[in-house]
Amino acid sequence: MVPDMAVWQPGHMPRRGRPPLRSDDTILDVALRDFAALGYDATSVRALNAELGLSHETITQRFGTKEALFRAAVSHGVHRFVAEFDRELESATPADDLERLRATTRAFIVAMSHHPALGELIHHQSINDIERDVLMTDIGLGDRLLTVSRLLHRLRAEGRIRDIDLREFWFLVQGGAGPLHFEQLARMFDPVDGPLERERHIERATDLIVRAVRTDTPD
C-alpha cells in the first residue's frame, strides 16, 4: 500500500507539480462513495482521478478497467463491513438462538451505520442484478446472510419467532440503522426528541426489532 502524503478535502484543488500519492484504501473509499452516490454508469474514472488530484491514468494503472475498479471497491467495502459485523457478533455471548438473533440484529445495525456507502450502493437503482450479485456474495456477506436465514428458520420451526423471512429481516434492520445512516435527516427531529444518542438508539432499535418478531410478545 502507498501511504497518503496529503489530506484530501472535497473541492480542494491540488497545487501544480507532481500529483500527490494516494493509498489504494483512499482511492477505493472515494470510488465506493461515488459509485454509491452516482451509480455505476455515471461514475467516471477520469473524474475520480481529478477528484483525488491524481494524473488521469493513475487509477487505471493501479486497478485496470472501470469494472475491475468497481469490483475492487465493492470488495474493499464488503470486507470492512463483514469485519465489523464479525467483531460485534464475536463480542456477544448468546446463550441460545433467540439471544443470537438479538446479537445478530445489533451487529448488523452497528455495521450498517458505519458503512452507509455500501448500503446505498446495494440499493442504488442504477446497479443491475449482476453488479448487485457481486455486492451480496463477495468476501463473505452472502455467507453471513445464509447463516442468518438458517437462524430464522430454526427459530420459526421452534415457534419462537413469527413467520419472518430473510428479506423482511434485512429491511427491518435497515430501518433500525436509518437514523444513524441518514444523520442530517435524523437531526430534523432534534427540536422534538433532542439529539440522537447513538448507543441508546442502537440498543432501543435492536430491542424493538427482536420484540416485534418474537411470538411471546403481544401483538
Tell me whether residue 61 is in a domain.
no
Statement: the pTM of the whole predicted model exceeds 0.85: no
What's the domain count of the chain?
A: 1
Tell me whether residue 115 is in a domain.
yes
In this model, does residue 56 exceed pLDDT 60?
yes
Q: Give residue 182's pLDDT.
A: 85
Question: Across-strand partners of 214?
Answer: 161
Between 123 and 18, the more confident residue is 123
Query: What is the arithmetic mean of pLDDT over 212-219?
Result: 84
Between 120 and 209, the more confident residue is 209
CA atoms in the 13 A half-sphere facing the CB of 7: 1
Integer angstrom CA distances of residue 160 from 70, 93, 108: 41, 19, 21
pLDDT in tens, 35-54: 988 888 899 999 999 999 99
pLDDT in tens, 125-176: 666 676 667 666 655 678 888 999 999 999 999 999 999 999 999 999 999 9
Tell me whether residue 27 is in a domain.
no
Strands (E), 13-92: none
Residue 174: which domain range? 66-213
Give the CATH number for residue 70: 1.10.357.10
Tell me whether residue 41 is in a domain.
no
pLDDT in tens, 75-100: 888 889 899 999 999 999 999 999 99
Integer angstrom CA distances of residue 116 from 29, 99, 164, 180: 12, 26, 25, 9
DSSP 162: -
Q: Give residue 161's pLDDT.
A: 97
**CA 102, 107, 110, 114: dihedral to nearest 10 degrees?**
-160
Tell me whether residue 207 is in a domain.
yes
Q: Is 51 exposed, middle or buried (0-12, 13-18, 19+ CB in 10 A)?
A: middle
Q: What is the mean pLDDT of the chain?
A: 85
If phi > 0 it is left, if psi is from -120 to 50 it is alpha, else beta; for residue 217 that is beta
* Percentage of residues in the chain having pLDDT higher than 90: 58
Which pLDDT band, with edges at 50, 70 and 90, does 213 fall under? very high
Tell me whether residue 44 is in a domain.
no
Tell me whether residue 195 is in a domain.
yes
Non-local CB neighbours of 216 within 8 Å, separated by 6+ positions: 160
Tell me whether residue 2 is in a domain.
no
